[in-house]
């Protein structure tokens, strides 16, 4: 199969947690594209300070990173692998707040980063709850 065929292949029947992870990927893709296309969204939507230097370019880099995370969550969810869901729960509950909250506290785009630091763990808790609903096959 070609690369495009692999990407467009219809996924097999997926669990609710895999569908949820794929949907989270779509949310991250949309948020990342927004920051790439419109870095000023940090001021317009989150009321963060105006850019004083090259922050607009850095915001686009952050947007690109969020796009990549979204892409990986989308296709990780579509793969049906439970491990991607579990791994996403760990990173979103531990690493994201551990990095974003101190940055926000130091004044680096506090509203944007706190929003991500809250949203990400909340979405992770949703994935974790869905993992707990797993039914055991006889």
SS3 109: coil
Nearest C-alpha neighbor of 18 from the set 137, 130, 132: 130
Nearest C-alpha neighbor of 117 from the set 93, 103, 97: 97
Which pLDDT tens digit goes with each residue over 10-68? 777 899 999 999 999 999 999 999 999 999 999 999 999 999 999 999 999 999 999 99
Q: Is the pTM here over 0.85, yes or no? A: yes
Residue at token pair 């949203």: 119
- On the 0-12 / 13-18 / 19+ scale of CB atoms within 10 A, 77 is buried
């Amino acid at each position: 199969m070609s690369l495009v065929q692999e990407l467009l292949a219809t996924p097999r029947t997926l669990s609710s947690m895999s569908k949820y992870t794929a949907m989270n990927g779509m949310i991250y893709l949309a948020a990342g594209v927004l920051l790439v296309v419109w870095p000023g969204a940090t001021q317009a939507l989150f009321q963060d300070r105006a850019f004083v230097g090259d922050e607009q370019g850095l915001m686009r880099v952050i947007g690109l990173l969020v796009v990549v995370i979204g892409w990986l969550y989308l296709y990780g969810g579509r793969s049906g692998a439970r491990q991607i869901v579990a791994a996403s729960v760990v990173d979103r509950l531990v690493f994201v707040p551990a990095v974003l909250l101190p940055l926000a506290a130091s004044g680096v785009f506090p509203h944007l980063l706190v929003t991500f630091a809250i949203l990400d763990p909340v979405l992770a808790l949703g994935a974790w709850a869905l993992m707990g609903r797993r039914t055991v096959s006889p």
